[in-house]
Amino acid sequence: MTVARKILLTGGAGFIGSHLVKWILDETEHEVVNVDKLTYAGQTRSLSGCQQNPRYQFEAIDIVDRKNVEELFHRHQPDWVMHLAAETHVDRSIDQPDEFIQTNVVGTFNLLEQSRHYFHQLELDRQSRFRFHHVSTDEVYGSLSLDDDPFTEQTAYNPRSPYSASKAGADHLVRAWHETYRLPVIITHSSNNYGPCQFPEKLVPLVILKAILGQPIPVYGTGENVRDWLYVTDHVRALMRVVEAGAPGETYHIGGNNQPANLELVQSICRLLDTRCPVADNPRLSAEQQTGLASYSALITLVADRPGHDLRYSSDTTKITNSLGWKPHETLLSGLEKTIEWYLTNEDWWKPLLQADEGC
Hey, which residues are catalytic here? 138-139, 163
Apex 139 CA angle, 135 and 142, nearest 5 = 145
C-alpha dihedral, 264 to 265 to 269 to 271, nearest 10°: 20
Residue from 60, 8, 48, 62 nearest 31 by CA: 8
The DSSP secondary-structure symbol of 151 reads B
Pairing of strands 31-35, 6-10: parallel
Enumerate helices (H) and strands (E) in the chain, giving the number of each.
14, 11
Strands 131-137 and 31-35: unpaired
What values do phi and psi take at 315, rounded to 5?
-120, 140
Give dist(CA 17, CA 42) in Å, integer.
9
Q: Is residue 336 packed enough to be buried (19+ CB in 10 Å), middle (13-18) or exposed (0-12)?
A: buried
Exposure string of 284-305, with b = 16+ CB inside 10 Å and e = fewer, is ebeeeeeeebeebbebbeeeee
Distance of alpha carbon 72 from the chain centroid: 23
Distance CA 159, CA 99 (A): 17
Q: Max alpha carbon distance in the chain (Å)?
A: 70
- Helix 107-120 crosses helix 162-181 at what angle (to 10 degrees)? 20
